[in-house]
Chains A and B, each alone.
Chain A
């Protein structure tokens, strides 16, 4: 599915990236106007993701507020060169939204709250190859390569906040198969992005 000898080209910083980093630098210094600017740039994407996952306007608002507050408080920890500010910020939104829907579910579907460590706020240190600016054709092309079963597990994970184990239970599929479908689906989409890279 994926040629291990190929790697995505390192992203070339764009003017948008540069502007974002400049704003984030001011946010790290406690500049409230810079936080406003960051919010204005990404409020729609952030809220759209939060609402898609939570399906609840109030919860989505709380998620977006928490995510931007998380960015506000952790801006100094953003590592330049490891993905764009946009990707970093939207990943925080996703973490928060998933955490919110998991807490909302009945306790029978949740691990004991007392055993729940805090959701991760920062990205993995290996977050390096993420493309940022995708056009609609790239998105369509990447999604179209997924098989039905790959799409199912990825959607249940990313948009519904289910764990691999919960997906295995819900779809009555062995856990190893769920993991394999996730991995192969993600790699297939990445391969399409490489083919469509400028």
Chain B
């Protein structure tokens, strides 16, 4: 047997019945999952076997040992939802896109955006005024962000990866909003030549949001690790993220204590959890308070 053999593009009802138990247990390959879902979406047969098999799942869920979550996790969930609200607001209007803007701890690994377009949840109206004015002193930084967003978005659309582009642009909206906060610092991240570029903003209350583009895709356990470097001090790991084929990566924190002038750098590491950089610096830049 091999895990590399793709399933047939179109499944018959018998194929689906054969895969049903694996489907309800999440035990199919991603290709098989998509093929089954595609079939179910258009099949006249109700495929009652799916519900029959799934009826046993609560037994499995209820039989796990109870472990209480850490006290701060609820706040992280809420912060992530707040960031999502901000992203929707940044997208503006009825065409607001759903966004993926994880807020993760320094040790966490950010997940990449869902690549499948998802029907947006009812957007919560957020008055534009609530986001506050954008000081003129940020004009240069914001112009750089917009240039990156527009060019990046255009390239991504050309690549046929619209949903990732939407998520990236929505995250960029969050970066813009954070840049508008009084006391925020911007960091333009650049590399030699035509390599990765991006922009990060350090908010006045420990928030940090970063959006990168033109990054080679990670594979396996590889991650991009973000580092903060203050003066001659050793680099401090901020967290890691992975990058897909669209070449964009987003990253956010809510507890960064950064001094003015701090340098941010991104390295490619073999896995999450690095305590010191081992891979090459792919992009870096120093913070500027305008």
Contacts and interface: CB of A to CB of B under 8 A. Distances in A.
Interface of A: 2, 8, 28-32, 35-36, 39-40, 43-49, 51-52, 57-62, 64-66, 68-69, 72-77, 87, 90-91, 94-95, 98, 103-104, 106-107, 110-121, 124-132, 134, 138-139, 142-143, 154, 157-159, 161-169, 175, 179, 182-183, 185-187, 189-190, 193
Contacts of A112: 219
A172 to B, nearest CB: 10
Interface string B80-100: 111011000000000000100
A65 B51 contact: no
Given A49-B61, A134-B58, A182 B25 contact: yes
Contacts of A47: 67-69, 73
A51 to B, nearest CB: 5
Main secondary structure of the interface of A (DSSP, over half): helix
A106 B220 CA distance: 7
Choose among B27, B76, B81, B123 the residue with the greatest number of A CB atoms under 10 Å from its CB: B27
Choose among A76, A90, A186, A193 the residue with the greatest number of B CB atoms under 10 Å from its CB: A186
22 contacts: A8-B55, A29-B122, A30-B124, A43-B74, A47-B69, A64-B77, A65-B76, A65-B80, A65-B104, A72-B84, A74-B121, A103-B242, A110-B220, A111-B3, A117-B30, A118-B115, A121-B118, A126-B50, A134-B59, A183-B53, A186-B24, A193-B56
A164 B24 CA distance: 12
A125 B107 contact: no
A145 B8 CA distance: 34
B20 interface: yes
A131 B55 contact: yes
A146 B180 CA distance: 59
B23 to A, nearest CB: 7
Contacts of B80: 65, 68-69, 72
Contacts of B119: 74, 76-77
Contacts of A190: 52-53, 55-56
Contacts, number: 263
Contacts of B78: 32, 35-36, 39
Contact of A30 (B46, B59, B98, B123): B123
A52 B64 contact: yes
Interface of B: 1-4, 18-34, 37, 40-41, 46-48, 50-70, 73-74, 76-78, 80-82, 84-85, 98, 102-105, 107-109, 111, 114-116, 118-124, 217-221, 242, 244-245
A40 B2 CA distance: 42
B240 to A, nearest CB: 11
Given A111-B30, A158-B25, A165 B60 contact: no
A40 B74 contact: yes
Given A30-B85, A35-B81, A61-B73, A107 B54 contact: no
A62 B108 contact: yes
Contacts of A49: 61, 64
A126 B105 CA distance: 37
Main secondary structure of the interface of B (DSSP, over half): loop
A165 B6 CA distance: 12
A75 B81 CA distance: 12
Choose among B26, B121, B244 the residue with the greatest number of A CB atoms under 10 Å from its CB: B26
A65 B59 contact: no
Contact of A183 (B3, B20, B59, B105): B20
A62 B123 CA distance: 24
A189 B219 CA distance: 39
Contacts of A130: 51, 54-55, 57-58
Contacts of A157: 22, 25-27
A142 B220 contact: no
A69 B81 contact: yes
A107 B114 CA distance: 21
B245 A114 contact: yes
Given A110-B220, A111-B3, A126 B66 contact: no
Contact of A163 (B22, B50, B77): B22
Contacts of A127: 50-51, 54
Nearest to A97: B26
Contacts of B29: 111, 163, 165
B21 A179 contact: yes
A167 B64 CA distance: 21
Contacts of B4: 111
